[in-house]
């Protein structure tokens, strides 16, 4: 698994996490989908499908991380937080942000790899 593959896996997981926790529930009725014939709205491009099984594997791996790394991963990928606020929240120096993020990514990668072999 390369770094690019791992990045795609995290992006897929972040989309799953956002969709799962922040989407408001509403019915998809005909009235809700109605668009006036006087105006034309081009169809919006659909985002790529979420790979549910891959997202669940990452979620299981992230939940098992120590609190500092879990906050860092979710803040970076799901909430897209400012690095300065994450640094203050997990009490590390700003110069160590990238190294700590890489360590958290590798921890998730190893947990996924171990879960696949077990």
Q: What residue segments make up the domains of the chain, in order of their start?
A: 1-19+54-118
Q: Which residues contact 101 (CB under 8 A, 6 or more apart)?
A: 72, 73, 76
Q: Does the predicted TM-score (pTM) go above 0.85?
A: no
The pLDDT value given to residue 98: 97
Average pLDDT of the chain to the nearest whole number: 88
For 91, how many CA atoms within 13 A lie in the half-sphere containing its CB?
A: 2
| pLDDT-based confidence at residue 28 (cuts at 50, 70, 90) | low
Residue 112 has, within 13 A of its CA and on its CB side, a CA count of 20
Nearest to 59 by CA among 1, 51, 103, 47: 51
pLDDT of residue 22: 45
Half-sphere exposure of 102 (CA within 13 A, CB side): 8
For residue 85, the model assigns a pLDDT of 96
User: Which CATH number is 1-19+54-118 given?
Assistant: 1.10.10
């Amino acid at each position: 698994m390369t770094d690019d593959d791992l990045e795609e896996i995290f992006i897929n997981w972040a989309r799953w996490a956002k969709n799962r926790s922040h989407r408001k529930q509403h019915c998809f009725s005909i009235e809700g989908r109605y668009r006036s014939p006087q105006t034309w709205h081009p169809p919006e491009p659909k985002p790529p499908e979420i790979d549910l099984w891959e997202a669940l594997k990452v979620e299981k791996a992230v939940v098992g991380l120590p609190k500092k790394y879990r906050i860092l991963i979710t803040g970076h990928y799901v909430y897209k937080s400012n690095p300065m606020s994450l640094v203050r929240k997990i009490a590390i120096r700003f110069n160590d942000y990238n190294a700590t993020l890489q360590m958290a990514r590798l921890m998730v990668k190893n947990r996924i790899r171990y879960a696949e072999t077990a």
